[in-house]
Chains A and B, each alone.
Chain A
Amino acid sequence: MTFLLQVQAILWKDIRCELRSKQTWISMGLFALLVLVIFNFAFDLRVDNKAAIAPGVLWVAFVFASLLGLGRTIASEQEKGAMDRLMLCPVDRKAIYLAKLLGNILFIVVVEVIALPIFAALFNVPLFAGELLPIVLLGTLGIATIGTLFSAIAAATQARELLLPILVFPLIVPVVIGAVRATGALMVPSINEPPWLGLMMAFDVIFLSVSMLMFEFVIEE
C-alpha cells in the first residue's frame, strides 16, 4: 500500500510542478496547437489509398511527439544534474519508475486526445466503440515503458536529445508495427490478420516488468 501511495505522491508532485510552471502552460498550449495544425496537413492525404498510409502517419507522429515529452519527467527531477531530492528518500525505486511512467503516458495522451478525434473523423474510424482505444493505450504503454527507462539513461549524457531516439526506436519496433497494422485492420478489415493486440500486450507486460526492475540500476549512483 505504501508503494502505491508513494507512486501517487510522486506523480501528483510532478503534475503540480508542471502545472505551476508558467513555461509549461505556454509551451504545452503552443505544442497542442501545432499538433492540431500539422495533423490536419498530415491527414490531408490526396492519394488513392490514403486509408493504407494513414495508420502509419498517425503512429509515426505519436512516436515523435512522445520523444519530445519523454525527457521531461526525469529532467524535472534533476537539480544540478543529481536526483538527490528523491534518492534520499526511502522510496522504492520501482515506485519512482511507475510514477515517471504514468507522467509520460499522461503527456502522450494529451497529444493523442488532440490528434485522434481528427483522425477518427477523417477516416471514419469509431473512436470509442470498437478497438481503437485499446490499440492506442497498448501502443502508448509500449512506447512509454521503454522510453521512461531510457530517458533516465540518456539524461546522464550530454547528447540526450539525440541519443534517446537512437536507443528507443529500434526497441519499440514491435509496438509500432503492431499498432500500425492493428489500426489499419480497423479501417480496412482483412482476413488472417495476426494477433497484433496480443503481441502488444505481451510486449507491454514483459517490458513493464523488466524496466521496473532495471530502473534502479540506472538511477542509483
Chain B
Amino acid sequence: MSAPYLEIKGLKKTYNLKPILRGIDIVLDQGKCMALLGANGAGKTTLLRILACLTKPVAGTVSIGGLDIGQEAQQVRLLVGFVGHQPNLYDELTIIENLLFFGRMYSVKKARERAAALLQQVGLARRSNERVGTLSRGQLQRLSLARALLHSPRLLLLDEPDAGLDDEGIELLEELIREHAEQGGTTLFTTHNFERAVKFSDQICMLSGGRVVYKQATTGLEAGGVRMAYQEALR
C-alpha cells in the first residue's frame, strides 16, 4: 500500500480580500496521478501555485513528501516540478542555456547529460542552440515539461499541460506521466478535457467555487459519466 505523498488539509486562499479557495482537502498517494477539473476561476491554478510554493495560503496545511510547505518551502521546491500557464523560460537564452541555468538553480548533477537526454525525449534535441524566443507554442510547452523534469522531481504539478500540444505532444505527455509514475513519482494536473482526465489519471477531483465537489477513482470510469457528474456537482 502506498503512503500519501501529498496531503492538503483545510487549505484557504484569498486574493485581494476575495476568497479563492475555501477549504480544500485532498490526499494523493505516492506514485498516483490525479486530474483536477473545474471551470475557469474555480481555483485550480491557485491551488497548484500554492503547492509549487509560489504563493502562500491564508489557512490550512500542505505536506509534500512529509515536508510542510510553510516551514520547509525551499526543500519542497526541490521536490516539485511545475508547469504553469507561462512557459517560465528566458526568451533571450537558448534552449540548452535555459536548461543549464535551471540545472544550476536546482543543483542538478551532470546537468548537461540530463538536459541532453530530456531534450531528446521531448524532441527538441536538434534545436538546442536556438533561442527560446523563436519557439512555437507547442515547442515551448515541451520545453516547459523538460524544465520541470530536469531535477527529477517527486511531485509533478502540471497546469493545463495539454494546452498548445499537437497529437504527438499529447502522446509525449502521457508517456512522461506514465514514466514518472513508474519511477514512483506523483502527479497532479489540471485539464478541461474529460477524456484525457480519465485516461491519464488514477483519480479525478473537481473544484467549484473554491471547494472540492467531486472525488472519484477513475478505474471503470468513462468520460461521459464524468461529464454528467460534473454538471451534477455544479448544480
Contact = CB atoms under 8 A, between A and B. Distances in A.
A46 interface: no
A5 B90 CA distance: 19
B54 A13 contact: no
A9 interface: yes
Interface string B79-94: 0101010101110110
A89 B102 contact: yes
A84 B104 contact: no
Interface stretch (B18-26, B70-78, B117-125, B226-234): B70-78
B105 interface: yes
B74 A88 contact: no
B88 A9 contact: no
Interface residues of A, number: 23
B104 A90 contact: no
A9 B104 CA distance: 7
Nearest to A92: B74
B132 to A, nearest CB: 11
A6 B52 contact: no
A89 B92 contact: no
Contact of A221 (B55, B78, B80, B88): B55
Given A6-B104, A9-B104, A16-B97, A90 B88 contact: no
Given A9-B101, A220-B56, A221-B56, A88 B93 contact: no
Given A16-B97, A17-B90, A87 B105 contact: no
A89 B148 CA distance: 10
Contacts of B78: 90
Interface in A4-33: 5-6, 9, 13, 16-17, 20-21
Contact of B54 (A6, A17, A80, A221): A221
A85 B57 CA distance: 20
A80 B88 CA distance: 11
Contacts of B90: 13, 17, 85
Contacts of B40: none
A26 to B, nearest CB: 15
Given A6-B105, A90-B75, A90-B78, A85 B97 contact: no
Interface in A169-210: none
B56 A85 contact: no
A84 B84 contact: yes
Given A16-B93, A17-B93, A80-B86, A89 B77 contact: yes
A88 B86 contact: no
Given A6-B105, A9-B101, A87 B54 contact: yes
B38 to A, nearest CB: 21
Q: Which of B55, B88, B89, B93 counts the most A-chain CB atoms under 10 A from its CB?
A: B88
B88 A5 contact: no
Interface of A: 2, 5-6, 9, 13, 16-17, 20-21, 79-80, 82, 84-92, 220-221
13 contacts: A6-B104, A6-B105, A13-B93, A16-B92, A17-B90, A20-B92, A20-B93, A20-B131, A21-B92, A89-B106, A91-B105, A92-B74, A221-B55
Given A82-B86, A84-B54, A89-B77, 4 more contacts: A85-B88, A88-B52, A89-B102, A90-B75
Interface of B: 52-56, 74-75, 77-78, 80, 82, 84, 86, 88-90, 92-93, 97, 101-102, 104-107, 131
Q: Which 8 A-B pairs have the closest CB atoms?
A: A89-B105, A90-B77, A9-B104, A221-B55, A20-B92, A17-B92, A85-B88, A90-B74
